[in-house]
Amino acid sequence: MKLFEIIPADFFSVLVSSNREVYVDALMKLYEMFNDDINIKLKDYLNELAALLEDRVYNVEDGDDISIDSPDTSRGKARLIEKRFEKTGWIEREFLDGSFVEIITPNTYSISVMRLLREITDEGMTEYNSLVFSTYSALNQAMAENQDRMYEAVIIAENNTEKLDYELRSLYHGIRGHLKNIRDNNDVNFLLKNHFEEYKKLSDRIYHPVKTMDSVFRYSGPIKGILMDLRYNDILLNEMTKKAITIKKYDSDEDAKYDILKTIDKIIDLYNSVALLMKEIDAKHCNYTKQSIDKIRYVMSADHSIKGKLAVLLKAYTSANETGKENIFEMLEENVSLNRQEYIDSGSFYHKNIKSKRSNQPPLAVEVHNDIGEELISEVISRIRNGFSENRVKAYIESLFQDGAIQIDSRDIEIDNDTDYVLTLLSVVNCINGRHGYSIKLGDNYIGKNGYRIPQFVLFKEGEK
């Protein structure tokens, strides 16, 4: 559904009008009352707005209902604001059940926008929750003690992982913002405040907790291990499917099971990306620390050394117009004497050749260990499993059966790249094991496809062989 099919077209007009600061304060007051009381009485809200407008300027705009009594008073302006909110779809007016007491109710989308405005304007820093440890604790406890609550544990893990990813991405872009502040400002007081106050808040809230008490690298491995065990545990998956059917609306058990597997794969993929994101954050954090300290040192010493003053002049020269460049050049020429200084040493006239002896000894033998080959094969298999999930293989098999086909010959399968080749081989393995509802008949020969070699086989839908 599109955005403006949900909210009115002029919903955001209050945020771009000449009275936007007054409107925002009025919305924040409404959000505060929403958190304090489930039913917001119209009379109480108008009283709060009247007190807010005692020393504020509110200009009557086009579309305001100026037919109300005393529109120039604080009470009248409060009614104008309340009418504007009602007209633009922020609130609705109704009567309290069983009485004639008039109340106002914020619309659902209005509550979300007001909460966003509150978060943007709130200078307080919310504490970081131990999202990684909470995810591990929920999954570990459910797997070890309460397997009947495994479905709830997976849902908790999904929510926590999405929040973790959001927090880390916000941290990364927050560091970029502080780096921009360093580049754009030369005031030493601003730089010191940015480094020791503003950036410290951001670092203490997310970076240090994630690196210490809620270490991603410490718990991500066990979390992915539990989820991989769960993914191939058919008994637990069936129990979770039954639980999902009772909680959510699914058309079939297959849809519920597919959604559970999709959620498990999503959490695993997020933790794989979180590990890479943490490396990027570490590099950005080190870069910020170095640039901030270097900039503070540079600014503090620039006015007290010849090097700093020359740097300021050269920087001004590069950004000046032609006339300004001529003035700066004349000033430097009149006041600064520059001389080239050189010296002569033993290496000034020639470079001594370095002789080397050529050896004709036979090359050293390379020792080959069989366990190394097994290690490499295990690593390749592990990478294939991580890159080609069960759902991806299933979707590939289903894509082969088009236009009502009940069987597929390997000679009809198109293989254009490595991905198609790997998916085809995994499809053969899974169908041999009886997965996904398909069966297979293997031939004795192999066939070539665009340089790839695959076994001869025929895939059948279950029951069609």
Q: Tell me how far the alpha carbon of residue 218 is from its chain's centroid.
A: 21
Which residues of the chain carry a pLDDT beneath 70?
Answer: 63-71, 122-129, 249, 301-308, 337-341, 346-354, 356-359, 366-387, 434-436, 462-465
- pTM for this one? 0.51
Q: What is the pLDDT of residue 69?
A: 62
Q: Do 11 and 55 belong to one domain?
A: yes
Q: What CATH number does residue 79 fall under?
A: 1.10.10.10
Q: Do 95 and 192 belong to one domain?
A: no
User: What is the three-class DSSP state of 92?
Assistant: strand
- Contact 329/317 with Cβ under 8 angstroms? yes
Boundary (domain end) residue, out of 90, 121, 152: 121
Q: What digits encode the pLDDT tens for the residues 288-333?
A: 888 888 888 777 765 556 666 777 777 788 888 888 888 887 877 7
Residue 346, domain member (yes or no): no
Q: Which sign does the torsion angle of CA 288, 289, 292, 294 carry? A: negative
Query: Can you tell me the distance from the alpha carbon of 441 to that of 67, in angstroms, rounded to the nearest whole number?
Result: 83
Q: What is the pLDDT of residue 327?
A: 84
Q: How many domains does the chain have?
A: 3
Residue 339, domain member (yes or no): no
Q: What is the pLDDT of residue 335?
A: 74
Q: Do 100 and 218 belong to one domain?
A: no
Residue 310, domain member (yes or no): no
Residue 331, domain member (yes or no): no
Q: Do 40 and 70 belong to one domain?
A: yes
Q: Do 68 and 106 belong to one domain?
A: yes
Distant-in-sequence, close-in-space partners of 263: CB < 8 Å, separation ≥ 6: 154, 155, 158
Q: What is the pLDDT of residue 126?
A: 52
Domain that holds residue 414: 389-461
Q: Do 166 and 254 belong to one domain?
A: yes
> Please, what's the b/e burial string for 254-266 (b: 16 or more CB within 10 A of its CB; e: otherwise)?
eebbeebbebbbe
Q: Do 112 and 142 belong to one domain?
A: no
Residue 372 to residues 82, 361, 365, 379, 382, Cα–Cα distance (Å): 75, 28, 17, 11, 15
Residue 199, domain member (yes or no): yes
Residue 267, domain member (yes or no): yes
Boundary (domain end) residue, out of 70, 96, 121: 121
Q: Do 409 and 297 belong to one domain?
A: no
Residue 186 to residues 93, 173, 298, 299, 304, Cα–Cα distance (Å): 53, 22, 9, 6, 15
Q: Do 94 and 184 belong to one domain?
A: no
User: What is the three-class DSSP state of 410?
Assistant: helix
Q: Do 107 and 147 belong to one domain?
A: no
Q: Do 104 and 146 belong to one domain?
A: no
